Structure 1
Amino acid sequence: MDHTRGSWIPESLNPSGYQTLLDVISSHCQRYADKPAFTSFGRTLSYGELDRLANSFAVYLQKETNLQPGDRIAIQLPNLIQYPIALFGAMRAGLVIVNTNPLYTPRELEHQFVDSGAKALIIHASMAHNAEKIIDKTSIEHIFVTQVGDLHGFLKRTLINAAIKYVKKMEPAYDLPLEQPLREALLKYEGEMPTPVTVNTSDTAVLQYTGGTTGVSKGAVLTHGNLISNMLQGRELISRAKEGWSETAISPLPLYHIYAFTLSLVIMEDGGHSVLIANPRDIPGFVKELNSWQPTTFIGLNTLFVALCNNEGFAGVDFSKLIITISGGMALTHAAADTWRKSTGCEIMEGYGLTETSPAVAINPPDAIAVGTIGWPLAETDVAIIGTDGKPVEAGTPGDLCVKGPQVMQGYWQRDDATAASFTDDGYLITGDVAVQDDDGRLRIVDRAKDLIIVSGFNVYPNEIEDVVTSHEGVVECAAIGVKDERCGEVPKLYVVRKDTNLDEKTIIRWCKERLTNYKVPRQIEFVDDLPKSNVGKVLRRMLKDTPAS
């Protein structure tokens, strides 16, 4: 088999013989036609309805636009059922998906739309005013606009859309001459079949832009082979969980994010039901929604687990059927894992991945969870821990984590130099993370290499400090960074969000001194009301580094 990046799917994991995501979509929708696939805002979409509406949208794209297979279409939607319909319909028309964050500023939108060469855009009405500001600078020719209630019945649709636009005033006025109603495009050709398109395993399925936390945001080229491989790798591991795990999967992370995107495919492969949470930042509202369900799976990340467990109403949620909880996107602290287990009765399976690997590289298996580790590499995934001399290090020694496998991207969109710089000579992706592999093969992420704090020549990893400090009962969350010091070069500085306003600097330093060697103990502590976070809740240490000293 050709093992060129993005062009192969492990045969051992692929009994269905999938070659493209079109095969996957058709298989899921036919096998599970009568089962619920997605729910959002009280509207449930069955697999059969998903199939019909995706076909209808594909026909619309083929008949009423000039878009051709290989053209890029940006999808900028929150967690609505319109997302999977638009996604799969566009794929059936042969288009390449450009997942776009709904919270992006006009500057960020312009970069992504221009860089990708997107010719079409699917957008929620509440974000359209931002697109208006930059649309003339892009190649976009078709704009499909939707509202939250568009796929509800007439009365509920009218009430929901009116409430959001006129009562909550969440849809600023905009003027987009190219606008077309997405609802019409999804429904107009219902019952018709699109003209089949030729798609191969090695063809690009998604341009998934990195968060742009350093330098310019780049599009990771993820092929059909990449995404199917990671779906199958995830399915193989999660299948070790008790039967029924996918019955009600709570999905608060946005589908435009690769973590939630691929997990939704894993859930669909099992015929599962994803309950989409459109605004997980509204913790009281989220808890109210949880009370409507008996979750069997919960997908989240550290900051979300902390926020939920600190909500008074969370204790009343029925988690009696919860089988698995999955964490990714950022390091999981021992304190968050322990509190979640006590609150829900469920251990958290921490995993690790990155945009460039579709995203999963390693996950704790449900039957062998070890908090503080990311488990073993997924099937057909090779990892190498490389030292500063470019050679593999011994077990237990930190080094740069490098990855090779069928889920690793082809490269960065139209950035050959950046692609070349991201791979070793023997084809391993350089992740930029520092990791340790134990004698039994388990992996532990030490930290991001760029976040390393060097104190008098000693390596200090922020994750370790944060894990210690969040174990204090008076701390909600914290973040550690390195700041310049004349004597030591750098010293750790800690930003703390506290539960107890009586908690002071001396108490935290004493707590650290009892648990950390001296050079790891923070020299500066600043109490803050909250920490800067990305749109998916990841703490942004780089923004703290740019913050003037208080």
Structure 2
Amino acid sequence: MNSVSAPSDGPAIKKIWLASYPDGVPAELPPLEHVSLAELLEESCARYADRLAFTSMGKSITYRDLDAQTRKIGAWLQSLGLKKGDRIAVMIPNVLQNPIAVYGILRAGFVVVNVNPLYTPRELEHQLRDCGAKAIFALENFAHTVEQVLAHTDVRHVIVTSLGDMLGLKGHFVNFIVRKVKKLVPAWSIPGHRRFMAVLDEGARLPLKPVDLTSSDIAFLQYTGGTTGVAKGAILTHANLLANQLQLLLWLAAAYGNKTRPAVLTFVCALPLYHIFALTVNSLMGMSLGGHNVLIANPRDIPGFVKELGKYKFDLFPGLNTLFNALMNNPEFAKVDLSRTLTLAGGMAVQRPVAERWQKMTGSWITEGYGLSETSPVASANRFDSPDFTGTIGLPITGTDFDIRDEDGNSLSLGDVGEICVRGPQVMAGYWKQPAETAKVMTADGFFRTGDMGFMDERGYTKIVDRKKDMILVSGFNVYPNEIEEVAAMHPGILEAAAIGVPDVHSGEAVKLFIVKKDQALTEAEVKAHCIANLTNYKRPRFIEFRTELPKSNVGKILRKELRN
């Protein structure tokens, strides 16, 4: 048993939210039952061996299969001579190879570095160099990106997988369609790379050596902009993630206080597993419960997604406001039975019209929560049994403290707007090799300064009203103006640039870029082409506006606030 505690120095926090807790939900987190995520996986695989763990594109694997395949991956990685704590990157979307690779890495004693498969070479190179990854698992669709940056990184081992791997005979057909018909695999050449299926074959003949993992060992480096635009790795320990999934289990138990919980919970896994929300809420919580995660490889294909939803009886559906809105705009969605489904939302604010329409169509409310990569991610949530949509981010979950503070770090009164600060066992250990950045966001008494501005009401519910920084939120992903502006400045035809977020009906916000030309012949098309080459899709400016000058302060700082106004 591993005890979890949070720093308790500093002023006492009056936990008024506890009075609003559901019956049976404890105020403090009990001791953790496992030391590591690897131990949790091994226990779940033994306990739930015959249950389905993951399904992708019609192919399912049981917990017994998951145990066997992750053992092979872990044994093969250990045979490379890597040492405990070495970083291994995973650049794979929601297909079976993702959880197999991730849990194989963890069982072998290494650290997982999740990578967005859609990253440009510039973005990928920064992340791989920063974390010092020694190996990378990548889907072949993105191998051309990996190829372009390898020489500038510490990566020495590249494992490439195809979409059809793990799908049996059907996989050959899938790979033919992906490569030859849809032409989704750009040409690439990485000498010495290994194929995922060959790695499994080789790993089957190797022993998985036991690793002495502790709860304070690093499990994931989860990259985020933090409070600036430069991507930093949030250090998430085994204890951080074990604590957060236990907090979620306690919260979930209250949802079934007055009704029978199904013997096996089935999850919709539409959010990408490389995102912290799906990693914890889908993968880790699902594994703890012996649940079944149905992986949606491409949730943007709404007709295909709706068809998949119709095949199963789902119990939990974590998602985003934009995703729920898109589904409801598909005429076939009305036929899907989600009457027993608990819908969880995070990543961005849920709009009341979307919540009300969802309730009307499915019979259940969207339960909104709040968190960040730095909090593993869930820090607060609304009650599952709430009879209405609250429009807030809910209550701090078990073992978590919220404090609303002013610029000087003083606690504010109820109803006063300040920075939301979070303390709890799920809060990261800091930013990877960034002590100065860590110091900016961590207080002496153990609170993480989120950069979000809000207030707490007399019941303990918190409402976000603004963001302290200029961060833009596009479909639940953080976009930092600094990064967009830095990329713009790389173009020889741009003199100055400023990026802001503007309202967007589909993604919540979209990026708008203001530009002062250096080359008067510069066109919008040229700017967009430059951004496509250097920024992943959700970061790219949707709107470009050319100006003769940008508003500045008396010291020459560009005033984004004036551009927003």
- Of the three residues 199, 215, 227, the one matched with 1:185 is 199
- Of the three residues 311, 316, 333, the one matched with 2:351 is 333
- Of the three residues 303, 327, 338, the one matched with 1:284 is 303
| Counterpart position of 2:219 | 205
| Counterpart position of 2:361 | 343
By how many angstroms is 1:547 displaced?
4.8
Percent of aligned pairs with the same residue?
Answer: 45
Matches within 5 A, 1:240-389: 240-242=254-256, 243-244=261-262, 247-263=265-281, 264-322=283-341, 324-368=342-386, 370-389=389-408
Deviates more, 1:439-448 or 1:297-306: 439-448
- CA separation in 2, counterparts of 1:373 and 1:351? 8
By how many angstroms is 1:545 displaced?
8.7
Matched, 1:223 2:241: no
- CA separation in 2, counterparts of 1:340 and 1:232? 28
Tell me the number of residue pairs that the alignment of Structure 1 and Structure 2 aligns.
472
- CA separation in 2, counterparts of 1:547 and 1:200? 52
- CA separation in 1, counterparts of 2:505 and 2:465? 23
**Partner-residue secondary structure (3-state), 1:260:** helix
The answer (yes or no) to whether the contact 1:29–1:51 under 8 Å persists in 2 is yes
Query: For each residue in 1:447-481, what CA deviation from the matched residue of structure 2 results, as whole angstroms up to 9, or x when unmatched?
Result: 212259xxxxxxxxx99xx9xxxxxxxxxxxxxx9
Distance 1:129 1:409, change over 3 A: same
The answer (yes or no) to whether the contact 1:74–1:122 under 8 Å persists in 2 is yes
By how many angstroms is 1:330 displaced?
0.4
By how many angstroms is 1:215 displaced?
2.1
- Of the three residues 173, 177, 199, the one matched with 1:163 is 177
- Of the three residues 110, 119, 130, the one matched with 2:145 is 130
Unaligned segments of structure 1, at least 5 residues:
453-461, 467-480, 482-491, 499-531
By how many angstroms is 1:439 displaced?
0.8
- CA separation in 2, counterparts of 1:86 and 1:139? 19
- CA separation in 2, counterparts of 1:54 and 1:372? 41
- CA separation in 1, counterparts of 2:223 and 2:317? 25
| Counterpart position of 2:133 | 118
Distance 1:151 1:255, change over 3 A: same
By how many angstroms is 1:214 displaced?
3.5
The answer (yes or no) to whether the contact 1:303–1:538 under 8 Å persists in 2 is no
Matched, 1:448 2:491: no
Q: Which runs of 4+ in 1 moved over 3 A?
A: 1-5, 10-16, 187-193, 211-214, 492-498, 537-540, 542-550
The answer (yes or no) to whether the contact 2:6–2:423 under 8 Å persists in 1 is no
Distance 1:372 1:390, change over 3 A: same
| Counterpart position of 2:103 | 88
By how many angstroms is 1:246 displaced?
5.8
Query: For each residue in 1:135-158, what CA deviation from the matched residue of structure 2 results, as whole angstroms up to 9, or x when unmatched?
Result: 1100001000001111122x2121
| Counterpart position of 1:408 | 427
- CA separation in 2, counterparts of 1:221 and 1:171? 33
* One-letter amino acid matched to 1:252: A
Matches within 5 A, 1:430-449: 430-449=449-468
| Counterpart position of 1:459 | none
* One-letter amino acid matched to 1:376: L
* One-letter amino acid matched to 2:385: D
Distance 1:338 1:245, change over 3 A: farther
By how many angstroms is 1:309 displaced?
0.8
**Partner-residue secondary structure (3-state), 2:112:** strand
Distance 1:292 1:213, change over 3 A: farther
* One-letter amino acid matched to 1:37: A
The answer (yes or no) to whether the contact 1:59–1:194 under 8 Å persists in 2 is yes
Q: Does 1 or 2 have the higher relative contact order (CA < 8 Å, sep 6+)?
A: 2
By how many angstroms is 1:26 displaced?
1.0
The answer (yes or no) to whether the contact 1:72–1:116 under 8 Å persists in 2 is yes
**Partner-residue secondary structure (3-state), 1:78:** coil
Distance 1:261 1:493, change over 3 A: closer
* One-letter amino acid matched to 1:18: H
